[in-house]
A and B are shown apart, each in its own frame.
Chain A
Amino acid sequence: MSGGYGGRAHSGAASDEALVRAARVGDEEAFAVLVQRHGPGMHRYALRLVGGSDADAAEVTQDALVSAWQGLATFAGTSSLKTWLFRIVHRRAADLHRSRKAVPIDDQLLSHLVPGAEDNALRQVLDEELLAALQQCLDELPWNQRAVWLLRELEEMSYEEIATTLALPVGSVRGQLYRARRTVSERMARWR
């Protein structure tokens, strides 16, 4: 046999299962497709879970994805890849949460009040203020309520997926979500 041994480009249409299979034999390109597919959601979830800190969210997401790469052999496939990845990022965020003291909320708010582009500037600033208010509200929720609310409302996971991700009974997910929704709704009502 002669000639090169060039690799095959992976299409964005490949299933998670096929990409995991390829990544397990060392295919970094396949893993890169998975990172682009699931990473933005993981980063978004981490960002809101850790209080809106870009640096903390970046650290949590990077650690989670690198850990996923190293642990692909342990992914049994009994749950979806998405819930497995979110479980890892949740654990990393929980570790960080435990190791950090609370950050004054004013600092968090200021980081979101940077003026945007000239067009629709007023609306963008208002949206940023709404997001900051939501972040403040989330920061005040108990940890599990915050996680359940984010996975349902932001990532649109099913109750079963949330239960798998957080290792909670589905009934507990429903209860936590009910209480979180009530609190968020009350806090955000003042912006109407």
Chain B
Amino acid sequence: MALEPDDPLTRALAAARRTEPGWVDVSSSVMRRVASLARPGEPLLVHTAAGEAAQDDAGSHTYLSSRILTTALRHLLQSAPTHAPAGIDLEVHERRLTAVRVRLAAAYGVELPELGEQVRAEVLAVVRDLLGPDPDLGPGQVEIAFEDVVPGDPREV
């Protein structure tokens, strides 16, 4: 529609396009509701440096919320321009982390086998940093899958 700047409809449309004052409150409310929807994590058994289940004198075990581990892994996987996380799944059996499955988008041109090995080692390092060295959780329990390859930094493209 070719309309003159002073055309009544053009002016009404321009007024309608101006950001409504209520938007700031709406966006704040949305993000508050989103934050409140965070799923409660499940407890993951923590191990001592010797690889044993950590427990106090009374025999109580120590646990870490899976939310903390997932967030730490997300931050790790978002730290380089070669790849970005598309999925992070934790397999838990009787409160023990038994496997980590990571899906990635990678930058075009990156050697995927090498990147996969590098990411597997980094993921395992974070898991051991937070949960301690579980002797049953090694590189074989960290699965890396590339589900997309994009032209550029997958954190931006």
A interface vs B, CB < 8 Å? 1-2, 5-8, 10-11, 13-15, 17-18, 21-22, 24-28, 31-32, 35-36, 39-40, 43-44, 47-48, 54, 57-58, 61-62, 65-66, 69-70, 126-128, 130-131, 133-134, 153-154, 181, 184-185, 188-189, 191-192
Give chain A residues whose Cβ lies under 8 Å from the Cβ of B35: 28
In B106-157, the 8 Å CB interface with A consists of 122, 125-126, 128-129, 150, 154-157
Q: Which among B29, B70, B88 has the greatest number of chain A C-beta atoms within 10 A?
A: B29
Which secondary structure dominates chain B's binding surface?
helix
Which residue on B lies nearest to A154, using beta carbons?
B16
- Given A25-B88, A134-B16, A58-B31 contact (CB < 8 Å): no
Contact check, B86 vs A1: say whether CB atoms are below 8 A apart.
no
Q: B30 near A: Cβ within 8 Å?
A: yes
Contact check, B33 vs A66: say whether CB atoms are below 8 A apart.
yes
Interface size class of B (residues with CB under 8 A): 35 or more
Q: How far is the CA of A66 from the CA of B157 in the complex (A)?
A: 24
Cβ-neighbour of A47 out of B7, B20, B122, B129 (below 8 A):
B20
Contact check, A17 vs B157: say whether CB atoms are below 8 A apart.
yes
Q: B97 near A: Cβ within 8 Å?
A: no
B interface vs A, CB < 8 Å? 1, 7-9, 11-17, 19-20, 22-23, 25-27, 29-31, 33-35, 37-38, 70-72, 74-76, 78-79, 84-88, 105, 122, 125-126, 128-129, 150, 154-157
- Given A8-B155, A14-B156, A44-B20, A130-B8 contact (CB < 8 Å): yes
Give chain A residues whose Cβ lies under 8 Å from the Cβ of B105: 21
Nearest CB of chain B from residue A1's CB, rounded to whole Å: 4
Which residue on B lies nearest to A17, using beta carbons?
B157
Which residue on A lies nearest to B104, using beta carbons?
A21
Which residue on B lies nearest to A31, using beta carbons?
B34
